[in-house]
Amino acid sequence: MRRKLIIDCDTGSDDAVAIMLAALHPKLELVGVTTVNGNVPVENCTDNSLRVLDFIGRGDIPVYEGLNRPIARQDFPIPRAIKKSTGIHSKELAIPAPTSKKRQKAAVEYLIETYRAATEEIALVPVGPLSNIAACIAVDPKFVERVPEIVIMGGAHHHGNVTPSAEFNVWADPDASASVFAAGWKRLVCVPLDATHEALVSLEDTAKMTAMGTPAGIASARFIEQRIRGYDANQPMKEKGAAPVHDAVCVAYLVDNSIITTDFRHVAVETVGTLTVGRTVVDTNFRGEHAPNCHFAFHADRRKFVDMLLTTFAKKPA
C-alpha cells in the first residue's frame, strides 16, 4: 500500500523537488498540496506548485492556497541576510505557467476536513512557515490527534540560515512554530538544517538528472542548479558546487526512515529573544523539565537521498 501524505509548502525551489518526489515515488500517494506565505508570496507559492505538478503530468493533485501572513506578527521582517536576493528561490519557477487552477477551498479548511474524514493514515509534511498548521490547531481541537505523523522541515541546532540562531521556516512565524512544536502530536519528526546540510546534491548529480530527459529530471536539475549557484555565491556549503534540497529530505524519510538519524528530545521555539527569536531550543542533555516531544534529525544519509531522487525522477511518465 502506498503511503499517503499532504505537503504544506512555500514553493520555492526545494519545495518543488519535494512535490515531485512525493507525486512520483511509487511508494507514496500525494493526496494534496497546501501553500503558505514564505519563500515567496503565497500566490506565487500556489502558482509554482501548480506549475510543477502540471509539468510532471500530475495536475490531478489538488492545490489549496493558505495564509498570506504570519498568524501573530503583522509584519514579515526581512533581515539583512535575505534582503539581498540570494537567487535560491524564484517567484516564478523556470517552467511553463500552469493550466491547472487552485481549488476554491482555503488550505486550513481543506486540512481540517481531510483529517476529519480520513479513514486511512495521512502523514502531514509542512516544509514552509507553520502558519497554516497553527491555524488548524487553533480552529479544530481534535486536529492534532487525527494526524498520525507530522514531519517538519525546519529549525536547527548547530546552524542558522536567516539569523545566526534561527532557520527560516521556524523563524518566519515563530508564534505559529511554538504552538505547533508544543501541540502534543502522536509522532513529531523534525528535519532541521543539521540534517539537510549533510544531504547535499551536487552538479554531478544534476547532470545525471538532465541526462534522463524526463520532465522531473529536467525540472529538478534546473531548480537545484539555481540553488547551487545561490549557495555558492551567498552561503557556501563545505563543498562548492553542491547545495541542500531541504524539503525533499522530509519526503524521502517517509519512504525510507533510515535516510535520517534522529534523537528523541524536547524541542521548543523561542518567540521573544532579541537575538534568538525563531530558534528551536533542543534539550540535547535533558536539562529542562519537559519530556521529549520530537524526533530531531541531526544527520542524513546523502547517498541514499540522492539515489532516491535519481531513481524516482528517471522513470518515464506513463
Which residues belong to the active site?
246
Nearest to 38 by CA among 208, 196, 214, 246: 246
Nearest to 107 by CA among 128, 121, 88, 89: 128
Task: List the single partner that 205 binds among ligand BDR, Ca ion, none, CB under 5 to 8 Å by kind.
Answer: none
Burial status of residue 264 (CB atoms within 10 A of its CB: 0-12, 13-18, 19 or more): exposed
Residue ranges that bind ligand BDR, judged by CB under 6 A: 12, 14-15, 39, 127-128, 153, 161, 167-169, 246-247
What is the distance of C-alpha 223 from the center of its chain?
15
Cβ distance to Ca ion smaller for residue 173 or 247: 247
34: alpha, beta or left, given left = phi > 0 and alpha = psi -120 to 50?
Answer: beta
Find the shortest distance in angstroms from Cβ 269 to Ca ion. 17
Cβ distance to Ca ion smaller for residue 196 or 271: 196
Listed ranges 103-111, 123-131, 251-259, 285-293: which one lies at the site for Ca ion (CB under 5 A):
123-131
Cβ distance to ligand BDR smaller for residue 161 or 206: 161
- Number of amino acids touching Ca ion (CB under 5 A): 6
Task: List the single partner that 134 binds among ligand BDR, Ca ion, none, CB under 5 to 8 Å by kind.
Answer: none
The answer to whether 15 contacts Ca ion (rule: CB under 5 A) is yes
Nearest to 252 by CA among 181, 207, 191, 209: 191
- Residue type, position 235, single letter: Q
Grid cell for residue 153: 522541515
Query: CA 215 to CA 75: how far, in whole Å?
Result: 38
Nearest to 244 by CA among 148, 164, 146, 127: 127
Which helix (H) or strand (E) segment holds residue 189: the answer is: strand 188-191
The answer to whether 127 contacts Ca ion (rule: CB under 5 A) is yes
Cβ distance to Ca ion smaller for residue 53 or 214: 53
Task: List the single partner that 167 binds among ligand BDR, Ca ion, none, CB under 5 to 8 Å by kind.
Answer: ligand BDR
Task: List the single partner that 194 binds among Ca ion, ligand BDR, none, CB under 5 to 8 Å by kind.
Answer: none
Query: Which residue's CB comes closest to ligand BDR?
Result: 168
Binding site for Ca ion (CB under 5 A): 10, 12, 15, 127-128, 247
